[in-house]
């Protein structure tokens, strides 16, 4: 079992690194950390970086998760290889690029690229955003799944995740007390469906809504509130077709709630995605 501890970063190929930087800093509200060659590193909290754009194919996407010991990393590699997954260890150069001590790389059953990292770097200074978006941190990703039932089994049995809730066959999965760190959405391919950042309050959600509308950014869903996690949310378009989300108020389980929680089953209908009546537009996997 992978025994995942935390989500760490997303790596995205982009057609235009300058445009991606302008969007990430001036629109999304992240801090630009550094440029190295054809890569741009950005952060949204105390981690060294939580998003890396690099010049390349926008379909080249990787999500990174942390484990807390070298034993876990070794057992993760063994567990994956024993089940027929091709696993490779990161080179020293790749570790430096990711600012980690070590990592393994594999592709999940739907084709999403995954890094499992050991001892990722933290930043020695506090996060200072380029604009006051209210971001408190990078929180989760939505992943496309060509077979949600199969992928749920993969992420629970091999990844050690727990199911919080389901909408149809699509599972929302947690690896810590937060309601979900990854969510699976049906598609005919793998990859990252959306990238979430938490913000401080619902006021930040509505400030973002008006700010993004003023800047001509496409609103794809919300403002609204999820039936599953209870979070208030706003989804909007980013570079190269990616969807970003701000949310606040996500459910965090207590130890007792973790012990007794049984996943709820929601039907695939609009109110399962938003209890306030907002309808998603242009986000595959959210259609009812």
Q: What is the DSSP string of 199-251?
A: ES-HHHHHHHHHHHHHTTPPEEEEEEE-TTT--EEEEEE-GGG-EEEEEE---
Segment-wise mean pLDDT, segments of 10 residues, the chain, 288 residues: 90 97 97 95 96 97 96 92 95 97 97 97 90 95 96 93 95 96 95 97 98 97 96 97 97 92 94 94 78
Rounded Cα–Cα distance for residues 140 and 8 (Å): 9
Q: Are strands 162-167 and 264-266 parallel, antiparallel or unpaired?
A: parallel
Beta strands per DSSP E along 119-179: 135-145, 162-167, 170-174
Residue 207: per-residue pLDDT: 97
Q: Report the chain's C-alpha Rg in angstroms.
A: 18
CA distance 135 to 201: 9
Q: What is the pLDDT at residue 3?
A: 84
> 176: buried, middle or exposed (CB in 10 Å: 19+, 13-18, 0-12)?
middle
Token pair recorded at residue 55: 């010049």
* Residue 287 confidence (pLDDT): 66
Is the model's pTM score more than 0.85?
yes
Tokens standing for 13? 């190929």
Which domains does the chain possess? 6-118 (3.10.180.10), 135-273 (3.10.180.10)
Which pLDDT value is given to residue 275?
96
The answer to whether the CB of 151 falls within 8 A of the CB of 55 is no
- Asked if residue 223 has a cis previous peptide bond (ω within 30° of 0), the answer is yes
How many CB atoms are closer than 10 A to CB 204?
A: 23
């Amino acid at each position: 079992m992978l025994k995942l501890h935390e989500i760490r970063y997303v790596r995205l190929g982009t057609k235009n690194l300058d445009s991606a930087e302008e969007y990430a800093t001036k629109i999304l509200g992240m801090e630009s950390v550094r440029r190295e060659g054809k890569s741009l590193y950005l952060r949204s909290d105390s981690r060294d970086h939580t998003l890396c754009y690099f010049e390349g194919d926008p379909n080249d996407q990787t999500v990174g998760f942390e484990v807390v010991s070298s034993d876990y990393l070794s057992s993760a590699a063994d567990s994956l290889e024993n089940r027929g997954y091709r696993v490779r260890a990161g080179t020293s150069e790749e570790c430096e690029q990711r600012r980690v001590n070590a990592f393994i790389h594999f592709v999940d059953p739907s084709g999403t690229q995954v890094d499992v990292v050991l001892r990722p770097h933290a930043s020695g200074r506090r996060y200072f955003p380029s604009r006051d978006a209210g971001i408190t941190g990078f929180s989760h990703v939505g992943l496309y799944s060509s077979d949600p039932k199969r992928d749920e089994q993969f992420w629970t049995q091999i990844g050690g995740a727990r199911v919080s809730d389901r909408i149809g066959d699509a599972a929302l999965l947690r690896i810590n007390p937060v309601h979900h760190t990854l969510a699976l959405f049906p598609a005919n391919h793998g990859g990252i469906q959306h990238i979430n950042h938490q913000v401080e309050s619902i006021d930040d959600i509505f400030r973002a809504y008006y700010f993004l509308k003023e800047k001509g950014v496409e609103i794809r869903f919300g403002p609204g509130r999820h039936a599953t996690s209870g979070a208030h949310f706003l989804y909007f378009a980013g570079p190269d077709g990616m969807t970003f989300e701000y949310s606040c108020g996500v459910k965090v389980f207590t130890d007792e709630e973790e012990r007794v929680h049984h996943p709820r089953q929601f039907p695939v209908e609009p109110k399962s995605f938003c209890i306030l009546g907002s309808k998603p537009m242009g986000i595959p996997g959210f259609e009812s």
